[in-house]
Amino acid sequence: MREIVIVGGGYAGFYTAWRLEKTLRRSEARVTVVDPRPYMTYQPFLPEVTAGSVEARHAAVSLRRHLRRTRLIAGSVTEIRNAGRTVTVRLANGADQRLRYDVLVVTAGAVTRTFPVPGVAEQAIGLKHVEEAVAIRDRLMTAFDQAGSLPPGPERRKLLTVTFVGGGFSGVEGFGELLSLATAMLKSYPELSIDDLQFHLVEAQGRILPEVGNKAGAWVVDSLERRGARVHLNTQLVSAEHGHVVLSDGEEFDSALIVWTAGNASNPVVHNHTDLPVDERGLLMVRPDLRVGTGSEPVPGVWAAGDDAAVPDLASPVPGAYTVPNAQHAVRQAKRLAKNIVASLRGGRIRHYRHSSLGVVATLGLGRGIFQYKRIVIKGFPAWLMHRGYHVLAVPTWERKVRVLSVWFTAALFGRDLVSLLSVQHPRKAFVNGGEPDRSDASEAHPQPSRRPAVSSAPPNNRA
């Protein structure tokens, strides 16, 4: 029986395995998915998770529940050696396991790209995983509780200052949703006012949301600033040590919550730990039919899709263009990839991937959004409805669609659920303290990330 190994259980990996399950006969091949997380994250919902509009678990699609005929291995791929047709997996207990394959699918996904800015590794948090979105929401809500008991001054100001670095889709959507949440929370905190909130969006380029037109991007900036936010264009983060933000335009302020969304970097296993061909960006070189390799030399039995694959964009009028690394392409590439794998196993015709964009849509907070398809631009509430409609259709499985819709319906009736569960990040604290007052440093109210993010010297990339 042929062995098909899929590296990564994100969009592309999940949908590839899902389609292969539906198409392959049981005796035809065995499919294995390797991923350290037991779920696929539906990333477009993460900004709404930060705002409490979507439950965290509803943005996570269980791999075991929906991939019933696929072997799942909880671990991280540390090395790919196509010369020996092997993949090395680091399991949760630290042991290494070597898998042999006949067909390899690389859908490892991108990682958050950071730069060696002082204080970022210690203070900032990303917005790529469900855990991060939940932590951002809980930290903001805990900051409100703490600020409500403090007199006006620097300490209160720092608690209610939020800084997002990166003006791509992830950053702008997360920023807009969190601003919407903070504004709504003021109704429950009469001791605080809108003047106490300080929201800063920092972008190194001269515009935000590069996927939309200049006018649409300028409208988004104006919309955010009319809601009380500050958008710093052509500005870089110089330092964030101890929560003290220093910007390249000379402005300085203290910020208790710093969110880093300044682009993606290729997965280290693809960039550094494989003998497969990669380009100067560290992405796998992929042919139009999604096989790894060049136009004249495909790598037999190896396929790739998603954020780590340089897939030629045949629908683009620009020669040599590559598909944008977003969810829309990842899902559609996975469906074509699964069909091509089955065709290759059965001696059928392998087809090229070609997909014209359906447009881009973004949420800017509850009841606010923007949509653009070519020259058509829709703003405000209609665009927000389109955002919700599109993504509830796009999230996989009817079970997840129903759960998300039920949360939206409940919120429409009763409003937001304004409860912070930050304490779940320290579940043993009450047990260990035995009822004694907590005398730990106040900074523990905003715990730091447990892992240092990877540092890259590559230029910024704010593509969603």
Q: Which two tokens stand for residue 438?
A: 């907590």
Q: Which two tokens stand for residue 75?
A: 């671990």
Q: Which of 331, 396, 383 is nearest to 357 (CA)?
A: 331
Q: Which two tokens stand for residue 342?
A: 């089955």
As to burial, measured by CB atoms within 10 angstroms (0-12 exposed, 13-18 middle, 19+ buried), residue 52 is buried
Give 413's contacts (C-beta < 8 A, 6+ positions apart): none
H helical segments located in 257-380? 268-272, 327-346
CB half-sphere exposure, 391, CA atoms < 13 A: 25
| 76: enclosing H helix or E strand | strand 71-81
User: In Å, what is the CA distance from 446 to each residue of 93, 142, 166, 273?
Assistant: 29, 9, 21, 35
Whether residue 307 contacts residue 325, with contact meaning beta carbons closer than 8 Å, is answered with yes
Query: Exposure pattern of 397-410 as b/e (b: 16+ CB <10 Å)?
Result: eeebbebbeebeee
- CA distance between the termini of the chain: 39
What does the pLDDT read at residue 438?
Answer: 64
Phi/psi class of residue 269: alpha, beta or left (left: φ > 0; alpha: ψ in -120 to 50)? alpha
| Inter-helix orientation angle 214-226/169-185, to 10° | 20
What does the pLDDT read at residue 3?
Answer: 97
What does the pLDDT read at residue 210?
Answer: 87
CB half-sphere exposure, 236, CA atoms < 13 A: 9
3-state secondary structure of 317: coil
Q: How many residues does the chain have?
A: 464
What pLDDT tens digit does each residue of the chain (464 aa) get? Answer: 899 999 999 989 999 999 999 999 989 999 999 999 999 999 999 999 999 899 899 999 999 999 999 999 999 999 999 999 999 999 989 999 999 999 999 999 888 887 889 999 999 999 999 999 999 999 999 999 999 999 999 999 999 999 999 999 999 999 999 999 999 999 999 999 999 999 999 999 999 998 898 999 999 999 999 999 999 999 999 999 999 999 999 999 999 999 999 978 889 999 899 999 999 989 999 999 999 998 788 999 999 999 999 999 998 888 889 998 888 899 999 999 999 999 999 999 999 999 887 889 999 999 999 999 988 999 999 999 999 999 999 898 888 899 999 999 988 888 877 777 777 777 777 777 776 766 554 444 444 444 444 333 333 333 33
Give 124's contacts (C-beta < 8 A, 6+ positions apart): 114, 165, 240, 258, 259, 260, 449, 453
User: In Å, what is the CA distance from 52 to each residue of 166, 182, 342, 381, 408?
Assistant: 22, 11, 41, 19, 10
Sign of torsion over alpha carbons 312, 316, 320, 324: negative
